[in-house]
């Protein structure tokens, strides 16, 4: 049995054509799943009995299971259980421009970033596209509102699960389905060059964010082991190629870690590195966790860093802080439930 939420519209069309059914069935099914949000095949009322039986015999509508929710002003954080009892988390945020959701793409993560809670729990497996789609379905149904923006920035490295993440994007982007516009979807990577190269070939409108976190390899390698196999010079060349090919602006995420990457020299070096690039920098106040020793940079110093970038004509914002009260840093809810990986 296959999970029907794993199917793109095209794949479902192929399925029906192979079954000697009308291709149009796929659109009808998609609308039942994603517009009407039925929970069983029996609710697909204007579809013939043979087709319904066919679906019942070949597909499931199983969903991820909701476990718990934490709420704070403007943010809700959900913990889900998958069919093999693994757990993942999803964060919902209310903004003035809409509602965004931060989805997980793997159970655990192998990238090993030293400051990150998710990285302490090694990767157990990739998520199926359906398991990422279902995070959105559950939360939309819970809040009874449409989600406008999706960021793949939860647990996991999306480019270490490339095919499933791209399939997920296709499914939620489909106008007959959840219909979230490509420009409202952002994939965040720690800088896997091979993944970015593949992503360039997609020629889509999906946004790319890079977790940079340091202006040079010396610092980067101490906090992000993947910097060894993905050196900064090559990474920057690949990103420039992405910008040139897609004509899209890239976001650089930069966590502010006290005494590690937050000096004036770092700000100047970062300005030089990004000079004249079509990009913007998002400075992220580090969300401290009790399991990891890094401290957050003082606000005054974040402001100083910000000012240096500004003076050097780099577009920069400081991330609005959400949910430090609700264990909202990546992987914290799962970690604090003592659910090891
Ligand atoms: N693997 C992807 C996406 C998941 S991490 C990536 O690296 O981009 C999403 C973002 O949260 C990354 O920028 C990551 O570095 C950051 N992050 C991880 N732990 C954090 C913490 N404790 N406080 C603030 N940001 C954190």
Kindly report, residue by residue over 126-182, the tens digit of the pLDDT.
999 999 999 999 999 999 999 999 999 999 999 999 999 999 999 999 999 999 999
d(CA 92, CA 323): 10
* Beta carbons of 213 and 261 less than 8 angstroms apart: yes
Q: Which atom of ligand 1 is nearest to the CA of 190?
A: 7
Per-residue pLDDT band for 332 (boundaries 50, 70, 90) equals: low
| Ligand 1 touching residue 105 (CB < 6 A) | no
330 lines ligand 1 (CB under 6 A): yes
Homologous superfamily (CATH) for 65-336? Aldolase class I (3.20.20.70)
* pLDDT, tens only, 95-142: 999 999 999 999 999 999 999 987 678 999 999 999 999 999 999 999
CA–CA separation, 171 and 177 (whole Å): 7
pLDDT band at 340 (very low <50, low <70, confident <90, very high): very low
CA atoms of 71 and 170, how far apart (whole Å): 30
Q: Is 89 a catalytic residue?
A: yes
Burial class (CB in 10 A: 0-12, 13-18, 19+), 323: buried
Q: What is the mean pLDDT of residues 186-198?
A: 98
> What pLDDT score does 320 carry?
73
Residue 325 predicted with pLDDT over 80: no
The per-residue pLDDT of the chain, averaged, comes to: 93
CA 330 to ligand 1 centroid distance, Å:
6
pLDDT of residue 341: 27
The correct CATH number of 2-60 out of 1.10.150.530, 3.40.50.720, 1.10.260.40, 3.30.460.20 is: 1.10.150.530
Over range 63-73, report the average pLDDT.
94
Q: Is 252 in the pocket of ligand 1 (CB under 6 A)?
A: no
Q: Is the pLDDT of residue 194 over 90?
A: yes
The 3-state secondary structure of the chain, one letter per residue: CEEHHHCCHHHHHHHHHHCCCCCHHHHHHHHHHHCCCCCCHHHCCCCCHHHHHHHHHHEECCCCEEEEEEEECCEEEEEEECCCCCEEEEEEEEECCEEEEECCCEECCCCCCCCCCHHHCCCCEECCHHHHHHHHHHHHHHHCCCCCEEEECCCCCHHHCHHHHHHHHHHHHCCCCCCCCHHHEEEEECCCHHHHHHHHHHCCCCEEEEECCCCCHHHHHHHCHHHCCCCHHHHHHHHHHHHHHHCCCEEEEEEEECCCCCCHHHHHHHHHHHCCCCEEEEEEECCCCCCCCCCECCHHHHHHHHHHHHHCCCEEEECCCCCHHHCCCCCHHHHHCCCCC
Confidence of residue 338 (pLDDT cuts 50, 70, 90): very low
CA 122 to chain centre: 18
Is any ligand 1 atom within 6 A of the Cβ of residue 189?
A: yes
Give the HSE-up count for residue 208: Cα atoms under 13 Å, Cβ half-sphere: 33
The CA distance from 172 to 10, in Å, is: 13
Q: What is the pLDDT of residue 174?
A: 97
CA-nearest residue, atom 21 of ligand 1: 287
Q: Say what the pLDDT of residue 143 is.
A: 97
| Ligand 1 proximity of 327 Cβ (cutoff 6 Å) | no
Domain boundaries, the chain: 2-60, 65-336
Q: What is the pLDDT of residues 26-64, one digit of tens each?
A: 999 999 999 999 999 999 998 999 999 999 999 999 999
Instruction: Indicate which residue of 89, 131, 134, 157 is catalytic.
Output: 89
Strand order in the sheet with 279-285: 65-72, 75-81, 87-95, 98-102, 149-152, 185-189, 207-211, 250-256, 279-285, 315-318
Q: 289 in ligand 1 pocket by Cβ < 6 Å?
A: yes
The phi and psi torsions of 152 (rounded to 5 degrees) equal: -90, 85
210 Cα–ligand 1 center, Å: 10
Rounded CA separation 106/155 (Å) = 6
230-249: pLDDT as tens digits: 999 999 999 999 999 999 99
- Distance (Å, rounded) from C-alpha 77 to C-alpha 134? 15
Q: How far apart are CA 109 and CA 188, in angstroms?
A: 14
The count of other CB atoms within 10 Å of the CB of residue 153 is: 22
Tokens describing residue 198? 């593949």
Interval between CA 189 and ligand 1 midpoint (Å) = 9
Q: What does the pLDDT average to over 213-221?
A: 98
pLDDT, one tens digit per residue, over 292-303 is 899 999 999 999
Instruction: Ligand 1 pocket test: pick from 153, 189, 317, 327 the residue with the most ligand atoms within 8 Å of its Cβ.
Output: 153
**pTM given for the model:** 0.94
Task: Provide mean pLDDT across the span 263-283.
Answer: 97
- Tokens 């979230």 sit at which residue? 180
**Predicted local distance difference test score (pLDDT) of residue 117:** 85
Tell me, yes or no, if 321 is annotated catalytic: no
């Amino acid at each position: 049995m296959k999970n029907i939420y794993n199917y793109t519209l095209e794949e479902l069309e192929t399925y029906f054509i192979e079954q000697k059914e009308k291709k149009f069935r796929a659109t009808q099914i998609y609308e039942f799943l994603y517009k009407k949000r039925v929970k069983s095949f029996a609710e697909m009322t204007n579809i013939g009995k043979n087709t319904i039986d066919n679906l019942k015999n070949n597909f499931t509508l199983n969903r991820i299971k909701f476990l718990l929710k934490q709420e704070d002003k403007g943010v809700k954080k959900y913990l889900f259980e998958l069919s093999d009892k693994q757990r993942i988390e999803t964060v919902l945020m209310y903004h003035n421009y809409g509602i965004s959701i931060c989805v997980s793409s793997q159970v655990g993560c192998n990238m090993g970033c030293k400051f990150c809670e998710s990285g302490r729990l090694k990767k157990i497996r990739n998520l199926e596209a359906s398991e990422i789609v279902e995070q959105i379905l559950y939360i939309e149904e819970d809040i009874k509102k449409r989600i406008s923006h999706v960021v793949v920035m939860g647990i996991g490295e999306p480019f270490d699960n490339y095919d499933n993440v791209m399939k997920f994007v296709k499914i939620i982007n489909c106008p007959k389905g959840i219909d979230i516009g490509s420009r409202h979807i952002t994939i965040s990577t720690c800088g896997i060059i091979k993944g970015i190269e593949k992503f360039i070939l997609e020629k889509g409108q999906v946004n790319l964010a890079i977790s940079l976190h340091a202006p040079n390899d010396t610092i980067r390698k101490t906090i992000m082991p993947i910097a060894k196999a993905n050196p900064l010079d090559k990474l920057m060349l690949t990103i420039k190629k992405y910008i040139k090919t897609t004509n899209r602006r890239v976001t650089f995420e930069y966590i502010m870690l006290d005494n590690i990457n937050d000096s004036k020299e770092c700000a100047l070096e970062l300005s030089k590195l990004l000079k004249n690039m079509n990009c913007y920098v998002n400075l992220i106040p580090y969300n401290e966790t009790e399991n990891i020793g890094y401290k957050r940079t003082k606000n005054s110093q974040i402001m100083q860093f910000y000012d240096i970038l500004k003076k050097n004509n780099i577009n920069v914002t400081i991330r609005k802080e959400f949910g430090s009260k609700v264990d909202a840093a990546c992987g914290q809810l799962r970690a604090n439930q003592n659910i090891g990986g």
